[in-house]
Amino acid sequence: MTTTDQTQTNEDLYAGTSETSEGRVFTVTGQDWDEISSSLADGQEERVVVNMGPQHPSTHGVLRLILELEGETVTEARCGIGYLHTGIEKNMEFRTWTQGVTFCTRMDYLSPFYNEMTYVLGTERLLDIEGDVPEKAQVMRVLLMELNRISSHLVAIATGGMEIGALTVMTIGFRERELVLDLFELITGLRMNHAFIRPGGVAQDLPVGALDEIRDFIALMKKRLPEYAALCNANPIFKRRLEGVGHLDLEGCLALGLTGPVLRSTGYPWDLRKTQPYCGYEDYEFDVQTWDTSDAYGRFRVRLGEMWESLRIVEQAADRLAGLEGAPVMVADKKIGWPSQLSIGSDGQGNSLDHIKHIMGESMEALIHHFKLVTEGFRVPPGQAYVPIESPRGELGAHVVSDGGTRPFRAHFRDPSFSNLQATSVMSEGGMVADVIVAIASIDPVMGGVDR
């Protein structure tokens, strides 16, 4: 082989050389050209735009933050969402009203019972059976929601602590959350995505020994919750990282439609359990927790106080359930209450053998009725309803629309994380890069609920 042939062989045809023109160089991805051209015209050479993500800030879901920085100071912050879009609302239009619970429970995966509850309350209003739901079902709903509030706030505090290096807060937070998930598994059979709250009531009664387990949990949490106060409340390092960070006053919260602990940290006691009671919350004794600093530290203190109040409600609910032994947990109308009064099988899955024996071997009518309810579902009168509830993150509501069929014509959710995430830019701009994650964690967004 000649020298010329060798040179041609070694030359990489796909890696040609190029010269960069003098002056500023821009790398542009994922923007509209109008935005790029306007930024070029500004001539702000000392500012840099960086991507923070897509990642899991405080492990709440995949969120992309686009930050414009001047040194260590954030001059502009924007959210990029949609990475967890699952089409849940559209999918619900192709399933029966009962099957819809299985979809919406997966939205905000840290508070699944609340997703189920707002959708079911809207469905029951359309069916005009709100007053027919048994008392025991309502008490069980309150019990599960307040346990869920505790587990959700534990994750918010644990992951927020983890992001600023408070690893002990993270480990004990998830330790306690496991106890709540154990209770969920005992009562519903699942740790997450339960589909347990159904139109007309709940899927099944409490298992044997559940109340004893709940009372043991209450006693243990009364000993464990003070640990968070001891580690964080007066900790100078913890307070230095949170105080004054992510400040947003009452006027800003109202302008953006923010609810939940973010709103209550301004001192405004807006809690739908008190202001617009549902599920019998007016019969429980508890206090609305507020703070007056309008910052990340205030939101932490509100969540810590709300866990104590939730324990109070869980204790009252457990006492009520003790006097409702054997009471029904589903409406009496068998054309709605599917799967009414069914117990699960000995393997923890499917229907019990007694029920299968009844519908398969003893009653042809029961078999036909069961088949119709499961495959076709019940019909809901035409109309629309919106019933908001107080989730751990704020006002959560489902706007459900029926055309008189066996499936929702439309189901759209007002998720508090979506609304609250609007505050990202207001809370972050003008602060340091290190404070961006603290501000996001104080909002406590769950991206499954944002994107749906």
pLDDT given for residue 11 in this prediction: 59
Average pLDDT, stretch 226-246?
82
Model confidence pTM above 0.85: no
Q: Which of 159-173, 235-249, 250-264 has the highest mean pLDDT?
A: 250-264
Distances (CA, A) of 43 to 46, 349, 350: 9, 64, 65
pLDDT in tens, 117-127: 999 999 999 99
Average pLDDT, stretch 274-280?
90
Q: How many CB atoms lie within 10 A of CB 137?
A: 23
Listed by start position, the domains of the chain span 88-338+377-451
pLDDT given for residue 112 in this prediction: 92
For the domain made up of 88-338+377-451, the CATH class stated in words is mainly alpha
| Greatest pairwise CA separation for the chain in angstroms | 98
Residue 26's pLDDT band (boundaries 50, 70, 90)?
Answer: low
pLDDT given for residue 7 in this prediction: 47
Please, are residues 183 and 160 in contact by the beta-carbon 8 Å criterion? no
Which residues touch 115 (CB under 8 Å, ≥6 apart)? Answer: 104, 105, 106, 107, 108, 396, 413, 449
pLDDT in tens, 278-336: 988 999 999 999 998 888 888 988 998 999 999 999 999 999 998 888 888 888 887 78
Supply the Cα-derived Rg of the chain in whole angstroms. 26
